[in-house]
């Protein structure tokens, strides 16, 4: 007779490092191995002959869950598996893989066998890796975000605007844009220095954001120029927004000697089939007209 037939199953199961249990067709425990006793800090005599509802080391919720699942397994014959946290030796919480399945013997009797595999160390490593991945994803997102933000004004930069413009063109959604330029900005820098010039730029930025909807995009286009992208907006709406911004800046932004800062603006609405460059060029031409017409005004193109 070969060795497989001479070794008792209880001996095999008791040598296994993972908790093993067997229930009969009445869902009463007929076997638990040494690893099971160690894990739950119990003796087999406290378990054998009982069903899970009679065990005092499990919570009421757990008892009813295991009993209900065991009944379903006996009825349908499906293997069930879960990842649970168990109180190991009554001291520490361990994450474990729990599975149980129906078996049928040659004489037709059947029951349930279950195994609990301690994956606590692996679970901690997975959690650590997940945390690292979330950190990497967050840092990547921050880098991507910073690459799209102007560091002085905290508005979007030219690159972010160009990207958004191309997406709008591809989507075929109507939009308008507003191009603004600070009047006599070189004079501000020459008279008061670049620190004061930067201060003016920073004061204008929140005014642009204040008069922008959530879906609008306010950008520093370069130097003392700003541009706003207004998805779904017609030219008359863009012109009204530009006028509100112009008045607000003139009223609230000043040079150190108290003189008002003003802006000129050009507005354009995207035409069907028009390129992104073209719609911006028309806004730029309108801005030039505003400058040539005396500044501190809004023109359309």
The helix or strand, by DSSP H or E, that contains position 190, with its residue range, turns out to be helix 185-192
* Contact criterion met (CB below 8 Å) for 300 and 286: yes
The DSSP letter of residue 112 is E
* Contact criterion met (CB below 8 Å) for 260 and 254: yes
CA pair distance 135, 213, nearest whole angstrom: 31
* Contact criterion met (CB below 8 Å) for 265 and 242: yes
Among residues 196, 224, 269, 274, which one is catalytic? 224
Phi/psi at 97 (5° precision): -95, 120
The DSSP letter of residue 56 is S
Joined tokens for residue 187: 């004079």
224 is catalytic: yes
Q: Which residues are catalytic?
A: 224
């Amino acid at each position: 007779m070969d060795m497989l037939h001479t070794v008792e199953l209880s001996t095999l199961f008791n040598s296994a490092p993972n908790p093993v249990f067997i229930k009969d067709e009445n869902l009463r425990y007929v076997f638990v191995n040494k690893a099971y006793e160690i894990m739950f800090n119990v003796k087999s005599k406290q378990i054998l002959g009982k069903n899970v509802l009679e065990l005092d080391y499990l919570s009421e919720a757990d008892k009813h869950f295991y009993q209900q699942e065991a009944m379903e397994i006996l009825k349908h014959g499906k293997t069930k598996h879960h990842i649970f946290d168990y109180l190991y030796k009554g001291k520490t919480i361990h994450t474990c893989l729990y599975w149980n399945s129906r078996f049928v013997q040659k004489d037709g009797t059947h029951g349930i066998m279950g195994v609990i595999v301690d994956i606590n160390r692996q679970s901690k490593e997975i959690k650590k890796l997940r945390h690292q991945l979330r950190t990497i994803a967050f840092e990547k997102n921050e880098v991507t975000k910073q690459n799209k933000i102007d560091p002085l004004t905290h508005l979007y930069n030219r690159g972010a605007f160009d990207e958004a413009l191309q997406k709008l063109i591809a989507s075929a959604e109507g939009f308008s844009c507003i191009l603004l330029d600070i009047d006599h900005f070189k004079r501000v820098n020459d008279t008061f220095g670049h620190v004061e010039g930067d201060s003016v730029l920073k004061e204008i930025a929140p005014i642009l954001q204040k008069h922008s909807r959530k879906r609008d995009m306010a950008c520093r286009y370069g130097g003392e120029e700003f541009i706003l992208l207004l998805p779904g907006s017609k030219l008359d709406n863009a012109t009204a927004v530009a006028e509100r911004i112009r008045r607000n800046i003139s009223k609230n932004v000043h040079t150190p000697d108290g003189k008002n800062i003003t802006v000129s603006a050009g507005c354009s609405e995207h035409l069907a089939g028009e390129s992104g460059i073209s719609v911006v060029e028309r806004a730029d031409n309108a801005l030039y007209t505003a400058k040539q017409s005396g500044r501190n005004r809004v023109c359309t193109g």
